[in-house]
Structure 1
Amino acid sequence: MGALAPLLNRFGNERALTVIVFTLDESSYSRELAPLAGHYPALKLGPAWWFHDSPEGLMRFRERTTETAGFYNTVGFNDDTRAFFSIPARHDVARRIDCAFLARLVAEHRLPESEAEQVARDLAYRLPKQAYRL
C-alpha cells in the first residue's frame, strides 16, 4: 500500500476526485484499504472482485470493511462483461448479500430499519452511479 502514499498525500482529501481501489488480496481490505478509505475522502473501496466475487466473499467484504470504512466509502457493486449474460444474476446476488448484512445489523439493533432501507437503495443504485459518474 506504500505505492498509494504519494497519490493520497497529494489528492486524498480532494472531494472532487474519486479513486476506486480493487485488490485480489482479500486480507488487505480490512488491514489497509478500509482504514485508508475511512480517512481519505477521495478513496473508495471497489467491491469484492474476481476470486472474492461469491456470496461468501461478498459477505466477508462487508464484514471486514464496513466497521472501518462504512458503507459510503464503498462504491456498491459493479461488474464487467466477461460473462455478459450473468450480470443480472451477479447483481442480484450482491444485492441479496448486502441486504442480508443490513438485516443482521437491524436484528442486532445496530441500525434502524429505515436507515437500512436507505443504505440498501444507495448500495444498489446511488453509490455506483455517483462513483462512476453515470
Structure 2
Amino acid sequence: MSNLVGKWKGDHSENMENFLKAMGVGDAAKKVAESDNANVEISVSDDGTWTIDTVGGIMKDSKISFKLGVPFEDARPGGKTEKIVATLEDGKLITKPVDNPDGPSAFWQVVDGHAMLTITKGDIIAKRFFNKA
C-alpha cells in the first residue's frame, strides 16, 4: 500500500500562477489558485482502483478513479479533457498524457510526512504541498 493513501489538507503552492498561465487559464482562476488549499483524499481499493477525491480545489470538487497503466479521461486546468495514464514508480504516483507528449504531467509523492504534487508543462514546474489531515 502506498504512503500516499489517506487524507491531506492543502498548505501552500509554488509557481502555480505560471503553470496555469502556460495551460491557458484566465487571470481570475490564476489568482484563486494562489490561495487554493484543497482537501484531498487518496485511496486504493482491493481491486487496485485508485481514487483521488479533491474538495474545495480550483477546479471545484472533483473525483477521479483509475487503475495503474490503464488510460483514463481527466479534466485539466482550463477545461480541457485529456487521456491520461498513471503509474507508480519509486513511491511516486505519476500521471502523463497518452496522446500529447507536450501536455502537463504530474506526480504525487510523500516527503518528510507531507504529500507533494509536482506538475510540469514544458520547462515550467509548480508544486502543491499538503499536510496529513
Structure having the higher strand fraction is 2
Structure having the higher helix fraction is 1
Tell me: higher relative CO, structure 1 or 2? Use CA pairs within 8 A at least 6 residues apart.
2
Question: Normalized against structure 1, the TM-score is what?
Answer: 0.30
Task: Choose 1 or 2 for highest CA Rg.
Answer: 1
Question: Normalized against structure 2, the TM-score is what?
Answer: 0.30
